[in-house]
Amino acid sequence: MTEVIKAIVDYAFKNFGLVRIFAYVREDNLASSRVLEKCSFKKEGTLRKAAKDKNKFIDLYLYAITK
């Protein structure tokens, strides 16, 4: 998955004129957080109780990478 994310980010920066790409990750999804970190995404913060899952509010982490 790391290779795929790196390729998508590279393609998006080169072909769409983007300067920033971001992703939200559930706080309990450690594997996705690790993949983003390997792809040079930086954790910018925590969105507290930002999503609802099975009648329970959960926190989301915000990751981003800039060109």
Structural domain boundaries in the chain: 2-66
- What CA–CA distance (Å, rounded) separates 52 from 57? 4
How confident is the model at residue 43, as a pLDDT?
Answer: 98
For the chain, the three-class secondary structure string (H helix, E strand, C coil) is: CHHHHHHHHHHHHHHHCCCEEEEEEECCCHHHHHHHHHCCCEEEEEEEEEEEECCEEEEEEEEEEEC
State pLDDT tens for residues 23-55.
Answer: 999 999 999 999 999 999 999 999 999 999 999
Q: Is the pTM above the cut of 0.85?
A: yes
How much is the mean pLDDT over the chain? 97
- Its CATH class, for the domain covering 2-66, is alpha beta
